[in-house]
Structures are given as structure tokens and as C-alpha cells.
Amino acid sequence: MKEKIDQLFENEAQLPKISSVVSKVMEMVGKPDVVIADLAKEISKDPGLTAAVIKLSNSAYFRPAKPVKTVQESLMTLGIKTVKEIILLNETKGILKKELKGYQVDGEANWMHSLIVAELAKRIAVQKKLKVDKDVVFTAGLLHNIGKVILADFFPTVLMQFRTELQSYQGPYTDLEAKFFGYTHQETGAKLLEKWNFPQELVEVARYYSEPEKATQFPELVSIIHIANCIVLLGGMGIDIGGLKIPLSPKALQNIGVTEGDLQMYYTLLPEMVKHIEELISV
């Protein structure tokens, strides 16, 4: 099975893709001297992306002070980093809404899970006054479990055996992923983001979000996503074949300074966040 996955990554035509315009925009946004007019021109090369940016910019989620009519107005009203979030939302929607039958999660549930993790992670970063870019936190939350999209295609041939072993297995189900596929979904997610030339902090989140104590370069960011993911799963959103087998890491709580009271507060925010996210995806 591992050989087949290796072949998949060697034959990039079969992997999920992001457009060349989005890749260029991601590269431009990462530069401190990026010019809004140049960025707007690049985004406008893709009519579909242009329409999506304007449409989402006018959603109740972002609540612009006045109607946004052009990409440049969106950039000037909401800011470059927020527009980057919008672009990634639009670009990854089709990928993250894929049916994950092997993981026993439908596309809508996985999409909502990813969005809520992203939203909660950003709120945790703000509430704890952490010195991390909030747009990076949101993006990391959105993409944290994207590796499941890859492994889902390999599940059908081993699903019954996987499910049988999982019933009596006490360790993390990612160990069973490694046994049956040669890779965990974290490893495949990290490989995919590397193929997309995404920043290293996003790669490390994908690789270690369920094992934050292993993160060495960006432990704070990985810990934020780990905590958000655990809370959202506890809230019943996006639970897969592994159930609640990812334990909340004491190290992650320590890295961020999250208390028991904080955890309870974050949990109570979930219904309001679901409503907030529904405003975004309803447009």
C-alpha cells in the first residue's frame, strides 16, 4: 500500500491541486512589500476566483462597512490577509468536502469541522494574546487534516480489517493508519502541502496536530490547532472512524497557557461559531 501512495505523490496529476493563480497569490501575500494593485491584478486573472472573492467579501461573516464591488476594494476593505483566507476557503472547498467514506465522515461534516477548527483556533490565539499571525492560524486550522483526503481512496480494501482491529486497539488510530497504509494521514497531509509549496509552519501543523509534543519549529501554532481540533471533535463535529482517540495533550495546554476554565469557555462558544460559519458557507 505504501508503494501505491508513493506512486501517487510521484504522479502529481492524480493529487488534489490548487490553481497557478492561487499559488502565485500565496507567494505574493508572503512578501512584506506586496502591492495591493498587483495582487488584485493577479487574482483578477481567474474570473471564478474573482467572483468568489467579491461574493464572500460581502457575506454576513465578514460584514464589510459598505458593499464590495471589486477585488481591489475587497483587499482595501478587508485587508490582504483576510482576502487570502477567502481565496483558500474557495480553493479548498472542493477538496475538503470530498466524501471520506473510509473514515466514515461525509463531505459536509468534514468541511464544517475544518472551518470550525480554523475559527476556534483563531479565537484561541486572540484570547491568549499569542504572537502568531491570525491568518496563518486560520489557514492551519482549515488544512490540518487534509491528509485524510489522500488516504480515503485507499481505505476500501482494508476497511473491514481496519475496523476490526480498531475495536480492540487502545493506542492512537494513526498507528493503524501507518500499519495498513505505510503513512498516517498527518504524514500524507504534510507531503501534500509540501507539494503545494506551502509555508513550513502549515506543513508542521499537518504533520503533528495530533502529536503536538513532537513539533519543534512551530510548537505554539501546532498546539493551538491541536486544542481546537480536540474541542471541536468533543462537540461532535467531524468525528471519524477513530472516534475520540486523540487525547488532549498536556504539553499543548502548557505551550499556550490554556486552563480548564478556558477549555470550558471554548466549548460553550461552539454553537455560536457554527451559526457564524453557516453565514459564510450559505453565500
Query: Mean pLDDT throughout 239-258?
Result: 87
Query: Mean pLDDT throughout 218-235?
Result: 96
pLDDT in tens, 213-223: 999 999 999 99
CA distance readout (Å), 95 to 52, 111, 148, 205: 16, 9, 10, 18
DSSP 34: -
Query: In sequence order, what are the residues at sequence separation of 6 or more whose Cβ sits closer than 8 angstroms to the Cβ of residue 64?
Result: 57, 58, 77, 78
Q: Grid cell 486572540 — which residue?
A: 126
Query: Mean pLDDT throughout 71-100?
Result: 91
Per-residue pLDDT at 171:
81
pLDDT in tens, 143-184: 999 999 999 888 888 888 888 888 888 888 888 899 999 999
How far apart are alpha carbons 41 and 262 in whole angstroms? Answer: 43
How far apart are alpha carbons 183 and 177 in whole angstroms? Answer: 6
pLDDT band at 280 (very low <50, low <70, confident <90, very high): confident
pLDDT band at 283 (very low <50, low <70, confident <90, very high): low
Q: Cell triple for residue 191?
A: 507531503
| Per CATH, domain 1-12+97-282 is 3.90.1660.10 | no
How far apart are alpha carbons 208 and 219 in whole angstroms? Answer: 9
User: What does the domain layout of the chain look like in residue ranges?
Assistant: 1-12+97-282
204 with 172: CB under 8 angstroms?
Answer: no
What share of the chain has pLDDT > 90, as a percent? Answer: 56
174 with 210: CB under 8 angstroms?
Answer: yes
Which residue(s) pair with 105 in the sheet?
100
Query: Mean pLDDT throughout 249-266?
Result: 96
Q: Cell triple for residue 169?
A: 486497539
Which residue(s) pair with 100 in the sheet?
105
Alpha-carbon torsion, ordered 232, 238, 240, 246, to 10 deg: -20
pLDDT band at 278 (very low <50, low <70, confident <90, very high): confident
Per-residue pLDDT at 11:
82
Average pLDDT, the chain: 90
Per-residue pLDDT at 243:
73
pLDDT in tens, 3-62: 888 888 888 788 888 888 888 888 888 888 899 999 999 999 999 999 999 998 998 888
- CA nearest to 151, candidates 103, 91, 196: 103
- Predicted TM-score (pTM) of this structure: 0.92
